A and B are shown apart, each in its own frame.
Chain A
Amino acid sequence: MVGSSTLQTFARTDGADRLIAAQEPLAGLHARCGGELPGEIIAPALREVVQMAREYGLRLARRLRMADDREVFSMWVEVEPEGEGCQVAISNWRSEGAPPSSVSGDEHRIAMARHMAGLSARLGPRQELLAIEHHDADLAGLARAMTAGVGRPWTDFVALEGNVHQQPLHWRLLDGARLRVAGLPQLWTAHLMPLGGGDPGSGGFELLLVSDSVPPATAKPAPALEQRLNGIDRKIAPVLRQPVSRIIANAETIRSQLSGPLADEYTGYAADITAAGEHLLALIDDLTTLEMIDDDSFAPAPDQIDLADVARRAAGILGMRASERQIAVDAPKHGESVPAIGEFRRVLQILLNLLGNAIRYSPEGSSIWLRAESEGGLASITVADQGEGLSAEEIARVFTKFERLGRSDDGGSGLGLYISRRLAEAMGGTLTVESAKGQGARFTLSLPADEAATS
């Protein structure tokens, strides 16, 4: 069709927007799509413009796209109302090939229809019924009738909306057609997918009926036990903590050989019991906190605090553990002050978690920096380490519940960062991380700045 820009194609439509005369290449396209002359306009875009021009009595001119089974064409279409129908003039007829985007759009539509279908059926090449399955109880009757009538055209069993002349219609006219099912109030839409290679439909069709009215939402009763799954009941925690504490205390007594000398292996075992007990205790604490912060009524008690001071305290508490691994912790200098609004205990808990992680996962002899600053209404404290850092994919997971990033050592429960972030958010702040593999990690806790104390 190259060079056909000056060529004009003419066509006429009647008062019911049916095509009554058409020149090539429109006539060919119309026939390939299963249209008849005279007959309904198959291309939806053209049908719409012709209908609008006739109803409004306006001369319209548009760029349109029409497609047959293999190709998409674009063209310039001018429609002029004349008598009862319209005169159509088409120029600049061009092939655009088969656009991939429309194909994927169609796949999207088919996937939706399959998901929503109340009834699906496999049809033969002449649209005769082969196999029927219903997914909507309302359509059980129709499915039964269809199953009894296998071999007949599917259109015999439904009432198509609109003026339908001869049956069975070309599948393109039926794809998207609205219909009614005897005994049911709602309208249904038919989706027809041609199957088989070569000519579409040579391998039969897939038929889907989708209800136009949204099905009533089947409200699932919320499982009442949901909340219990998150953590551990606050009433149970003390009951658990007590015996665990006793185990730790007794193991500690054995390890320090208070009641007499012991073989080295046995002190080693006692030390293991202590460590395991402490881990268990920490886990109970984490689970209790988790239970508490996942509760909707959880609200921290905000106070005026100094982030630099909290950071210094956290560094003091974990200083021993850091020096055991020859890690230098660079806390904010004395006299430095970054006022913020938050709950002291919770902020300290977050910083202990961040600093504890940093110490645990940094190489021996490295440094960790704690930097507090205040900017634009936000006070923040950053914990930066020289560890191996996190990949983008790990960053995406690091704040999720029970996430240990593949670490299997007995370091923690995988709840620390999740709890820290929830606590930060509960205090109106954020907890974020910047990192890249091999470049260390920077965890930043931001809280609302204490404007009153700053100014």
Chain B
Amino acid sequence: MSGDSPCTPSIDQVEDVMRFELARGDALLASAQPVLSHLLTSGDQVQFGDEIIARIRGMANHAARQLLDAVAEADDTLDRDALLARHAEALAEAILGDGGFLSHAHALALEIHWADKLHHRCGLDAVLTPFLQELAASPDGEIASAAMHVMAAQARFVQQQRRMELALGELPGDLFHRLLLAMRGCDELPEPAGEQAEAHLRSTFDEAKGRAGHMARLLLALGHKADRALAIDHAGLALFASALALASGLSREHAIYALGENQLARLALALRAAGLPQSALEAQFLLLHPEITLPPGFDGLSAERAAALLTLAQD
């Protein structure tokens, strides 16, 4: 047994490995500091809380599982468990590496967090809100059925979020497409099952059937009455966020971010851009941030100026 038997790596190889590990460690340490300082100074304990991070990770894992399930279904001879064990972790990592997915999942996690908080604070149910009940009983068949669709979609969403899951069909089309590309990028995915799964997933996807789609549809059908959704205690947080996005020109994700503790200006401007009068605006602030008072003179800001400020900020 001499030191240079073929099984023992040479000292050069060992050094290479150690050098690589050191460099990796350096990179990790270098990125740790800005992350830490951001966490410590962002001033919003919720935004990057453990619960939020866990939810985002859960949604990415669930998305990866659904993609791989589709592959397993495409070919009966494949072992689903083996497929998951082989690919799930790497695929979830790849999905978490997508900035668009991260912001989307982050916004959803914050949304459900806020919905829970409102439920505790003022007993507002995340699914069955006064406004939806009223609309579901509407004599206008189209509105009544759209309201029922929203209620069902919202109930599904809340259930999924309780399990930290996110159905692929809920994603916006471009994100869905990027997830499929991430699946394509998996090493040694069994073919042609992978291709068949992708084709099947694409053909069954329908953006209109997602929760966000149903809510936008309902709000558009309501026309001018959609303004009534701009009251959280009346319409619920989910429909409120969609209505705020439609009325203020923000994306729905940004509308949800605006609810956070360090985004008060965005919320105030979005509500104003949506045309809310001062008293209604203050009522919404009272629900979300009881401790905050609006800056004096804010009631003098017009909806047009507020919209312009928001647009400039997004450029």
- Chain A, range 91-111, C-beta contacts under 8 Å to B: 91-92, 94, 100-101, 104-105
A192 interface hit (Cβ, 8 Å): no
CB of B142 within 8 A of CB of A100, answer no
Q: Smallest distance from the beta carbon of B169 to chain A beta carbons, Å?
A: 10
Contacts A5-B223, A63-B220, A105-B308 given; indicate if A58 touches B176 (C-beta within 8 A).
yes
With a cutoff of 8 Å between Cβ atoms, the chain A residues found around residue B208 in the complex are 59, 61, 78
Question: B303: nearest residue on chain A (CB-CB)?
Answer: A101
Contact of B223 among A6, A52, A94 (CB under 8 A): A94
**Complex Cα gap A53–B174 (Å):** 9
Question: B177: nearest residue on chain A (CB-CB)?
Answer: A56
Question: B306: nearest residue on chain A (CB-CB)?
Answer: A101
CB of A58 within 8 A of CB of B221, answer no
With a cutoff of 8 Å between Cβ atoms, the chain B residues found around residue A57 in the complex are 199, 202-203
**Complex Cα gap A53–B202 (Å):** 10
With a cutoff of 8 Å between Cβ atoms, the chain B residues found around residue A91 in the complex are 220
With a cutoff of 8 Å between Cβ atoms, the chain B residues found around residue A63 in the complex are 216, 220, 246
Contact of B220 among A59, A74, A100, A101 (CB under 8 A): A74
Q: Smallest distance from the beta carbon of A82 to chain B beta carbons, Å?
A: 11
Q: Smallest distance from the beta carbon of A452 to chain B beta carbons, Å?
A: 26
B207 interface hit (Cβ, 8 Å): yes
Contact of B202 among A58, A62, A75, A92 (CB under 8 A): A58
CB of A104 within 8 A of CB of B246, answer no
A60 interface hit (Cβ, 8 Å): yes
With a cutoff of 8 Å between Cβ atoms, the chain A residues found around residue B220 in the complex are 5, 63, 74-76, 91-92, 94
**Complex Cα gap A75–B216 (Å):** 10
CB of B202 within 8 A of CB of A61, answer no
Contact of B177 among A5, A58, A74, A92 (CB under 8 A): A58
With a cutoff of 8 Å between Cβ atoms, the chain A residues found around residue B202 in the complex are 56-58
CB of A92 within 8 A of CB of B173, answer no
- Chain B, range 200-238, C-beta contacts under 8 Å to A: 202-203, 205-208, 213, 216-217, 220-221, 223
B262 interface hit (Cβ, 8 Å): no
With a cutoff of 8 Å between Cβ atoms, the chain A residues found around residue B173 in the complex are 52-53, 56, 58-60
Contacts A76-B220, A105-B311 given; indicate if A59 touches B246 (C-beta within 8 A).
no
Q: Smallest distance from the beta carbon of B206 to chain A beta carbons, Å?
A: 4
Q: Smallest distance from the beta carbon of A295 to chain B beta carbons, Å?
A: 33
With a cutoff of 8 Å between Cβ atoms, the chain A residues found around residue B207 in the complex are 58-62, 78
**Complex Cα gap A63–B214 (Å):** 11
CB of B205 within 8 A of CB of A5, answer no
CB of B221 within 8 A of CB of A5, answer yes
Question: A57: nearest residue on chain B (CB-CB)?
Answer: B202
**Complex Cα gap A94–B307 (Å):** 20
Q: Smallest distance from the beta carbon of A202 to chain B beta carbons, Å?
A: 28
Question: A89: nearest residue on chain B (CB-CB)?
Answer: B208
CB of B307 within 8 A of CB of A101, answer yes
With a cutoff of 8 Å between Cβ atoms, the chain B residues found around residue A61 in the complex are 206-208, 213, 216-217
B304 interface hit (Cβ, 8 Å): yes
With a cutoff of 8 Å between Cβ atoms, the chain B residues found around residue A62 in the complex are 207, 216
With a cutoff of 8 Å between Cβ atoms, the chain B residues found around residue A53 in the complex are 173
For B235-252 the 0/1 string (1 means CB < 8 A from A) is 000000000001001000
Number of interface residues of A (CB under 8 A): 23
Question: A59: nearest residue on chain B (CB-CB)?
Answer: B206
For A210-235 the 0/1 string (1 means CB < 8 A from B) is 00000000000000000000000000
Interface core residue of B177, B199, B220 (most chain A CB under 10 Å): B220
With a cutoff of 8 Å between Cβ atoms, the chain A residues found around residue B206 in the complex are 59, 61
Q: Smallest distance from the beta carbon of B210 to chain A beta carbons, Å?
A: 8
**Complex Cα gap A63–B223 (Å):** 13
Q: Smallest distance from the beta carbon of B216 to chain A beta carbons, Å?
A: 5
With a cutoff of 8 Å between Cβ atoms, the chain B residues found around residue A6 in the complex are 142
- Chain B, range 261-315, C-beta contacts under 8 Å to A: 304, 307-308, 311
With a cutoff of 8 Å between Cβ atoms, the chain B residues found around residue A78 in the complex are 207-208
**Complex Cα gap A165–B236 (Å):** 51
**Complex Cα gap A94–B226 (Å):** 13
Q: Smallest distance from the beta carbon of A352 to chain B beta carbons, Å?
A: 36
Question: A53: nearest residue on chain B (CB-CB)?
Answer: B173
**Complex Cα gap A178–B129 (Å):** 50
CB of B308 within 8 A of CB of A76, answer no
Q: Smallest distance from the beta carbon of B226 to chain A beta carbons, Å?
A: 11
Question: A2: nearest residue on chain B (CB-CB)?
Answer: B223
Q: Smallest distance from the beta carbon of A12 to chain B beta carbons, Å?
A: 18
**Complex Cα gap A52–B175 (Å):** 12
- Chain B, range 65-108, C-beta contacts under 8 Å to A: none
Q: Smallest distance from the beta carbon of A404 to chain B beta carbons, Å?
A: 30
Question: B199: nearest residue on chain A (CB-CB)?
Answer: A57
With a cutoff of 8 Å between Cβ atoms, the chain B residues found around residue A94 in the complex are 220, 223
Q: Smallest distance from the beta carbon of A129 to chain B beta carbons, Å?
A: 33
CB of A100 within 8 A of CB of B177, answer no
For A59-72 the 0/1 string (1 means CB < 8 A from B) is 11111000000000
- Chain A, range 33-91, C-beta contacts under 8 Å to B: 52-53, 56-63, 74-76, 78, 91
Q: Smallest distance from the beta carbon of A318 to chain B beta carbons, Å?
A: 38
18 A-B contact pairs sorted by A residue (CB < 8 Å) = A52-B177, A56-B176, A57-B203, A58-B202, A58-B207, A59-B173, A59-B208, A60-B173, A60-B207, A61-B207, A61-B213, A63-B216, A76-B216, A78-B208, A91-B220, A101-B308, A104-B304, A105-B308
Binding site for A on B (CB under 8 A): 142, 173-174, 176-177, 199, 202-203, 205-208, 213, 216-217, 220-221, 223, 246, 249, 304, 307-308, 311
Q: What are the nearest 3 A-B pairs in CB distance? A: A61-B208, A92-B220, A61-B207
Known A5-B220, A58-B202; further 18 A-B contacts with Cβ < 8 A: A6-B142, A56-B173, A58-B173, A59-B205, A60-B207, A61-B206, A61-B213, A61-B217, A62-B207, A63-B246, A74-B220, A78-B207, A92-B221, A92-B223, A100-B304, A101-B249, A101-B304, A105-B311
